[in-house]
Amino acid sequence: MATSLKNLSETDIKPNKAIKKFNIALVVADWNTEITHSMRDAAIGFLKEQGLKESNISIHPVPGTFELPLGAQFLAQNKKIDAVIAIGCVIQGETRHFDFICDACANGIMQVGLQYNIPVIFGVLTTNNLEQAKERAGGKHGNKGIEAAETALKMLLLKYELS
Ligand code: DLZ
């Protein structure tokens, strides 16, 4: 489904006492910070609304989206961290750089999650232009940071339900 058909800020997670014990780390790309910081702040706001304490949320900047998988891996190695939310924004340019960064990031993030058996969430916008990114970082399509934070909580709840 195209993102334009779903508002990224709409959530349906049910309250759960387990949530307040989760320890979640955000790794955030320093490229396109107008977008990534808006997603970061929305994700943190949502996690707090769901009951996480500020002390159970940590934020870790990396230079760009290409560095998100390694940043996520550094965090996943810490056994106190239950989930990682990777936040980035890649905007299509005139060269193929976009494709290399997006592919490397998506594959790397998936690998870290599978290797460490923790949710590592792909909170990355890959858009044709800045306008599309703004629309998904607090604009008319909601905020992908909220979608990413909700996904992290849902995957953690599933993990603990099954363990
Ligand atoms: C180099 C680059 C370019 C052209 N575009 C973006 C972008 O739109 N979003 C992003 O997060 N990072 C970009 N980068 C930086 C790369 O992710 C990476 O930090 C550098 O290639 C150094 O490895």
- Does 83 map to a domain? yes
How far is ligand 1, taken at its centre, from the CA of residue 65, in Å?
Answer: 6
Domain total in the chain: 1
Mean pLDDT in residue range 131-147: 97
- Does 11 map to a domain? no
Mention every residue, 6+ apart, whose C-beta is less than 8 A from residue 53. Answer: 20
- Whether pTM > 0.75 for this model: the answer is yes
- Does 22 map to a domain? no
Quick: pLDDT tens for 105-114.
999 999 999 9
Residue 45 structural domain:
32-162
Identify the helix (H) or strand (E) that includes residue 75.
helix 68-76
- Does 151 map to a domain? yes
Mean pLDDT in residue range 32-40: 98
- Does 152 map to a domain? yes
Mutate to test the pocket of ligand 1, among 39, 65, 124, 132 (most ligand atoms within 8 A of CB): 65
Residues designated catalytic? 97
Mean pLDDT in residue range 66-93: 97
Q: What is the CATH number of the domain that holds 81?
A: 3.40.50.960
Quick: pLDDT tens for 109-128.
999 999 999 999 999 999 99
- Does 103 map to a domain? yes
How far is ligand 1, taken at its centre, from the CA of residue 51, in Å?
Answer: 34
